[in-house]
A and B are shown apart, each in its own frame.
Chain A
Amino acid sequence: MLRYLLNKIALLIPTLVGITICAFAFVRLLPGDPILAMAGEHGVAPARYEELKQQFGYNLPIWEQYARYVGEVATGDFGVSISSKRPVLEEFKTLFPATLELSFFAMVFAMVIGIPAGIFAAVKRGSWFDQSLMGTALVGYSMPIFWWGLLLIIFFSGYLGWTPVSGRIGLQFFFKPITGFMTIDSLLYGKWDAFRSALSHLVLPAIVLGTIPLAVIARQTRSAMLEVLGEDYVRTARAKGLSGARVIGVHALRNALIPVVTTIGLQVGTLLAGAILTETIFAWPGIGKWMVDSIFKRDYVVVQSGLLLIALIVMAVNLIVDVLYAVINPRIRAA
């Protein structure tokens, strides 16, 4: 197992180096002078220009600049945001829990509906339910989620007035973050109305972000179940006279869930890409909106480090999924 893990990590090293090269190259590939680009329309005084050039190390040879950059990143120095003047890592730490909370609820939404629906569709294969579920799943899979979000706002916030249009929590609530999760923090402080406010802000974005994973999970669960239901051991279990629910719930489901778990893990990239759109629509203060805002503010230090941090997260999660997969399924380890 340890060998498998080390092997996996070794394979990631070239990707890791590549990611840092990409992030490093990003600022240098921007059209024009990077310092002038960052300064934007206001320009910069010649003396300050030289000073910045020294500070960012643009006068050094390119490989030395890269070595310097890797050194900085390795010691946790991700630069200082041009627009907010705060360290990028600090901003990231305050914003990331918002994205994490949103993604968590989106995944819960997708799994709680997707897995049972997929199982039921497989058991009732070819039925009315199966056909309409697969049809709906394909619609969900084809959904432009930025539009889906706007539609939900029109209906639930505009027409019915049930949910707020944007943000994470009502403006009247303010407390010092403990975990950074509004739903948990509000409970820790014992404020029920704040908790309700946080939940009502969370519902629509979580549905929007969870839609594509929901479609993928439902389809994957259905096909995995169909495959397993045809296996000999399921037939044996049936022949032994076990109840239908037990055969499906214990014998079939446990085996069918392995590919589903992998699919769920692989949705992380989709979630983070979706978070860019979802957070923009709902003004959700997470890292997706942070990236888009920074692009428009020409805060390229944030874009550069955000790109790096997000790629690292995706990589780490994929590694965890791989390892979990190997833990569940010993056949993978041997290979």
Chain B
Amino acid sequence: MTQTEIAPMAAGSPDRLTGLKTFWHYFSVNRGAVIGLFVFVLLVLAALFAPLLAPYAPDIQDKTAFLRPPAWQEGGSTQYLLGTDPVGRDILSRLLYGARFSLLIGAVVVTLALTGGITLGLLAGYFRGWVDVAIMRVMDLILAFPSLLLALVLVTILGPGLFNAMLAIALVLQPHFARLVRAAVMAEKSREYVVAAKVAGAGHLRLMLATILPNCLAPLIVQGTLSFSNAILEAAALGFLGLGAQPPTPEWGTMLASAREFILRAWWVVTFPGLAILITVLAINLIGDGLRDALDPKLRRS
């Protein structure tokens, strides 16, 4: 759409990426990514200021207002903007508090998966040989199972709950990071700057962490963003199946699970939590697309 505005640049020169300004230039070309970022910032604010924004506490029950429809529908009132759930809790308040859980899930899962993936990927790509074979066989094995199934089974072993769900999802998502880091390390390892550092006497740890790793960051950031949204979806799915966060936690997937039996009577109990999940995941995926365009010179629109 605005292809002509982009100044011709030497593709693939990594030093160009260092400038935050250059990055923003490429990122902001993608209108969707900017919208996604805007929505994401709103979500973070909603999560941070949930106690101030929410009209009610998330677990307070109004015994006079079970399944009250949203304000604009007949029978609804501005007292409960998005209506109430089957036990008389304000849905809007629960959604606002729920944003905390979703963002927490995303952040924790990505941190765990990144740490594990970077460590294993670095070891495999740097040392090769049997270390590589052993690590990558285990990664292949994890990827051989459908992710949700493996997460389900892991949660069965660990016991249901939000934290265990996060652990399980991190484990399931982590091979993607390991593969990515390994491939990047293998590509970088024979470059001159690495050889130069080696000749200068840098040890294994320094070569891996200080010399090679910073040059593998771009694909990791993109994968991290996509995993963030994946983690939210999978955690919501586990919550929906009753194996993630447990009621009365206002986690969106868990909210959906307890609303299921009312779907034909009270559409709003089901609609809003799911919409919240969709909007969050969509915003993050939009950001991910923008990041990929901005950070990956190969995919950059020419």
Show the binding face of A for B, using Cβ within 8 Å: 14-15, 18-19, 22, 26, 29-31, 126, 135, 138-139, 141-144, 146-148, 150-151, 153-154, 157-158, 165, 269-270, 272-274, 276-277, 280, 291-292, 295-296, 303, 307, 310-311, 314-315
Q: What are 27 A-B pairs at a CB distance below 8 A?
A: A14-B140, A15-B141, A15-B144, A26-B153, A31-B159, A138-B289, A142-B278, A144-B240, A144-B274, A146-B237, A147-B273, A147-B274, A147-B278, A151-B274, A154-B270, A269-B147, A273-B149, A276-B146, A276-B148, A276-B152, A291-B152, A292-B241, A296-B242, A307-B145, A311-B145, A314-B144, A315-B144
For A298, the closest partner residue in chain B by CB is B156
Give min CB distance, A9 to chain B, whole Å: 14
For A148, the closest partner residue in chain B by CB is B274
For B137, the closest partner residue in chain A by CB is A14
Once the chains are docked, how many angstroms separate the CA of A150 from the CA of B236? 14
Interfacial chain B residues near A18, Cβ < 8 Å? 137-138, 140-141, 144
Interfacial chain B residues near A151, Cβ < 8 Å? 270-271, 274
Once the chains are docked, how many angstroms separate the CA of A31 from the CA of B161? 15
Instruction: Say whether A22 contacts B285, CB under 8 Å.
Output: no
Instruction: Say whether A22 contacts B141, CB under 8 Å.
Output: yes
Instruction: Say whether B152 contacts A295, CB under 8 Å.
Output: yes
B243 in the interface (beta carbon within 8 A): yes
For A31, the closest partner residue in chain B by CB is B159
Instruction: Say whether A15 contacts B274, CB under 8 Å.
Output: no
For B260, the closest partner residue in chain A by CB is A150
Give min CB distance, A230 to chain B, whole Å: 11
B256 in the interface (beta carbon within 8 A): yes
Residue in B32, B237, B260, B275 whose Cβ sees the most chain A Cβ within 10 Å: B237
Instruction: Say whether A150 contacts B270, CB under 8 Å.
Output: yes
Instruction: Say whether A154 contacts B278, CB under 8 Å.
Output: no
Query: When A and B form their complex, which 7 residue pairs have the shortest distance between CB atoms, in order from nearest?
Result: A147-B274, A273-B146, A18-B141, A273-B148, A142-B281, A142-B282, A158-B264
B157 in the interface (beta carbon within 8 A): yes
Once the chains are docked, how many angstroms separate the CA of A141 from the CA of B140? 24
**Dominant SS among interface residues on chain A:** helix
Interfacial chain A residues near B145, Cβ < 8 Å? 19, 22, 269, 307, 310-311, 314
Instruction: Say whether B263 contacts A153, CB under 8 Å.
Output: yes
Interfacial chain A residues near B159, Cβ < 8 Å? 31
Report how many residues on chain B are interfacial, defined by Cβ distance under 8 Å: 43
Known: A144-B237, A292-B241. A150 touches B144 (CB 8 A): no
B286 in the interface (beta carbon within 8 A): yes
Instruction: Say whether B137 contacts A139, CB under 8 Å.
Output: no
Instruction: Say whether A314 contacts B146, CB under 8 Å.
Output: yes
Instruction: Say whether B285 contacts A142, CB under 8 Å.
Output: yes
Instruction: Say whether A150 contacts B149, CB under 8 Å.
Output: no
For A11, the closest partner residue in chain B by CB is B140
Q: Which residues between 93 and 109 of chain B lie within 8 Å of chain A, taking CB atoms?
A: none
For A269, the closest partner residue in chain B by CB is B146
Once the chains are docked, how many angstroms separate the CA of A125 from the CA of B148? 35
Interfacial chain A residues near B156, Cβ < 8 Å? 30, 295, 303
Interfacial chain A residues near B146, Cβ < 8 Å? 269-270, 272-273, 276, 310, 314
Contact of A154 (CB < 8 Å), options: B32, B149, B267, B282: B267
Interfacial chain A residues near B148, Cβ < 8 Å? 273-274, 276-277
Interfacial chain B residues near A150, Cβ < 8 Å? 256, 260, 263, 270, 274
Instruction: Say whether A138 contacts B282, CB under 8 Å.
Output: yes
